[in-house]
Amino acid sequence: MPPTVVRPRQGAASQSFPVPSYPIERVRLGNGLRVLFAPDRTAPVVAVSVHYDVGFRSEPQGRTGFAHLFEHLMFQGSANVGKAEHPKHVQAAGGIFNGSTHPDHTDYYELLPSGALELALFLEADRMRSPKITQQNLENQIAVVQEEIRVNVLNRPYGGFPWISLPPVAFDTFPNAHNGYGDFTELAAASLDDAEDFFDKFYAPGNAVLTVTGDFDPAEALTFVERYFGDIPARAVPAPGSFAEPVRSQERRERITDRLAPRAAFAVGYRVPDPIGDLTGFLAYCLLADVLSDGDASRLERRLVQHDRSVTGVRASLGTFGSPFEQRDPLLFTLEARQSEDATADGVLAAVDEELGRLAHDGLVVGELERVQARVVSSLLREADDALGRAMSIAVHELRRGRPELVNELPAEFAAVTADEVTAAAASLLDQGRSVLELEAGAAPTA
């Protein structure tokens, strides 16, 4: 089906964007599992993903890193699949697989030749039904996660900066502020009872979304889904808790030292509108991030990197990592930069404030909104063109908003954002108490 063209509302940019029209079918099994089918016969591949509505913001206090640890446990075999056999089955069929833990969900996926759809569904159903949660597997994976932390955080320059180190500055509550990668002592204290309780509470079919995209027949896929997932017992689903915290009126600042970092750096966190309750308002901040830092023509790139030469690079983003649409409120608009040798954090922040003020007062220049909207929409279209990217996007939109159709609708939503909405977003960053994290370099600068 050819894409339609959506034209922006009055006051938005003047250009039009193609809009995808991927069909989406929805089924709900008797045990509560939500199933999404998005067939597309353009390539002989199929993607299968399972998204569970639990991330590291839901893990119990005193068990930091447990959601990530449990993701590892889910790869240790299940009732009918031996340890390390899940990867072997997928790779032998010519596919790829992985899983990841996020603030508000955990996902598992396979991308395979279309003839291997039944295999992927069997594998995911078997571990949803009965993963091998044993003391031996738990101890092995605690050691694996601890080593991952050593490699990715403790022994790497800027490891965990700023996604681990900024939230404790920006937030006060355990769900929002704690280290989702995990504390070594708390990981080591995780028990088999903890793991079994976590599985029973959060890995129920009714707390998950199964998504199938690509080259498949929906009727045949539904037969496989009912065969493998249909008799998994239903369990109670935990009510989603609120992570709400008030927006601060005063700045908060902290400083850390990174013994491996060659240059000082800083990160600034600002609060933004609820990405679920106020999606329209949230989109203006998504565009603002690109106005500030996406590409050589972006405002902070030109000011800080090209003109002042006070930083070696600058980046603005929304959310902890991944898609900005996957997180619930509250989340941060984060600006991060690595400073040049003679620059100070205060000097760079003053320049950032000046650019935000100029944007809020003078507005966008001609063509600026169109350029940024085109970049964002182009990225969305590329992501949706890939079977796996489409599966992951559809699942997140269902999980967070109950609207998998947003994979088709977001280009039009972005096209409707006006220049005034973007400049108002810039002004709002100046009107709140930001959170500033300074990183002092502990290593000698490299040549």
Q: % helix / strand / coil in the chain, to the nearest 5?
A: 40, 20, 40
Tell me phi and psi for residue 56, to 5 degrees.
-75, -10
Nearest to 438 by CA among 339, 333, 318, 299: 339
**111 and 186 part of one domain:** yes
**162 and 261 part of one domain:** no
**219 and 258 part of one domain:** no
Residue 401 inside a domain? The answer is: yes
**389 and 344 part of one domain:** yes
Type of residue found at 111:
L
At residue 61, the 3 state secondary structure works out as coil
Distance, CA of 341 to CA of 445 (rounded, Å) = 8
Which tokens sit at 108?
């598992």
Residue 403 inside a domain? The answer is: yes
Nearest to 59 by CA among 194, 167, 253, 152: 194
Q: Taken in order 410, 416, 422, 424, is the CA torsion positive or negative?
A: negative
Other CB atoms closer than 10 Å to residue 424's CB: what's the count? 14
| 306-to-266, 280, 289, 303, 350 alpha-carbon distances in Å | 18, 33, 18, 6, 16
154: Cβ contacts below 8 Å, ≥ 6 apart: none
**277 and 166 part of one domain:** no
Other CB atoms closer than 10 Å to residue 80's CB: what's the count? 13
Residue 12 inside a domain? The answer is: no
* DSSP β-ladder status, 45-52 and 208-214: antiparallel
**71 and 201 part of one domain:** yes
- Last-in-domain residue among 229, 263, 278: 229
Q: What CATH number corresponds to the domain at position 387?
A: 3.30.830.10
Residue 346 inside a domain? The answer is: yes
Nearest to 123 by CA among 86, 160, 70, 74: 86
**33 and 88 part of one domain:** yes
Task: Give the residue carrying structure tokens 């498949």.
Answer: 216
Which tokens sit at 130?
């009965």
Nearest to 437 by CA among 248, 270, 247, 275: 270
How buried is residue 397: exposed, middle or buried, by Cβ count under 10 Å (0-12/13-18/19+)?
buried
CA angle 38, 41, 43 (to 5 degrees): 110
Residue 79 inside a domain? The answer is: yes
**318 and 350 part of one domain:** yes
State the total domains in the chain.
2
Residue 34 forms beta bridges with which residues? 28, 209
Task: Tell me how far the alpha carbon of residue 76 is from its chain's centroid.
Answer: 24
**288 and 160 part of one domain:** no
Range of the domain at 311: 252-441
Distance, CA of 55 to CA of 210 (rounded, Å) = 17
Q: Are 392 and 107 in contact (CB under 8 A)?
A: yes
Predicted confidence at residue 447, as pLDDT, reads 45
**216 and 324 part of one domain:** no
Q: Are 396 and 325 in contact (CB under 8 A)?
A: yes
Type of residue found at 447:
A
Residue 7 inside a domain? The answer is: no
Q: Are 132 and 77 in contact (CB under 8 A)?
A: yes
CA angle 381, 383, 386 (to 5 degrees): 105
Type of residue found at 53:
D
Residue 428 inside a domain? The answer is: yes
Which tokens sit at 43?
């390539």
| pTM recorded for the entire structure | 0.94
Task: Tell me how far the alpha carbon of residue 139 is from its chain's centroid.
Answer: 28
Predicted confidence at residue 13, as pLDDT, reads 54
Kindly give the confidence (pLDDT) of every residue in the chain, 447 residues in length, as a single tens digit, with 9 standing for 90 and above: 333 334 444 455 556 788 889 999 999 999 999 999 999 999 999 999 999 999 999 999 999 999 999 999 999 999 999 999 999 999 999 999 999 999 999 999 999 999 999 999 999 999 999 999 999 999 999 999 999 999 999 999 999 999 999 999 999 999 999 999 999 999 999 999 999 999 999 999 999 999 999 999 999 999 999 999 999 999 999 988 889 999 999 999 999 999 999 999 999 999 999 999 999 999 999 999 999 999 999 999 999 999 999 999 999 999 988 889 999 999 999 999 999 999 999 999 999 999 999 999 999 999 999 999 999 999 999 999 999 999 999 999 999 999 999 999 999 999 999 999 999 999 999 999 999 999 999 865 544
- 118-152: burial string, b at 16+ Cβ within 10 Å, e else: bbbbbbbbbbbbebbbeeebbeebbeebbeebeee
- Last-in-domain residue among 229, 262, 295: 229
Task: Give the residue carrying structure tokens 């649409």.
Answer: 325
Residue 145 inside a domain? The answer is: yes
Q: Are 361 and 424 in contact (CB under 8 A)?
A: no
For 55, half-sphere exposure in the C-beta direction (CA atoms, 13 angstrom radius) is 26
At residue 366, the 3 state secondary structure works out as coil
Distance, CA of 236 to CA of 291 (rounded, Å) = 44
**214 and 169 part of one domain:** yes
CA angle 347, 351, 355 (to 5 degrees): 170
Predicted confidence at residue 241, as pLDDT, reads 82
**392 and 272 part of one domain:** yes
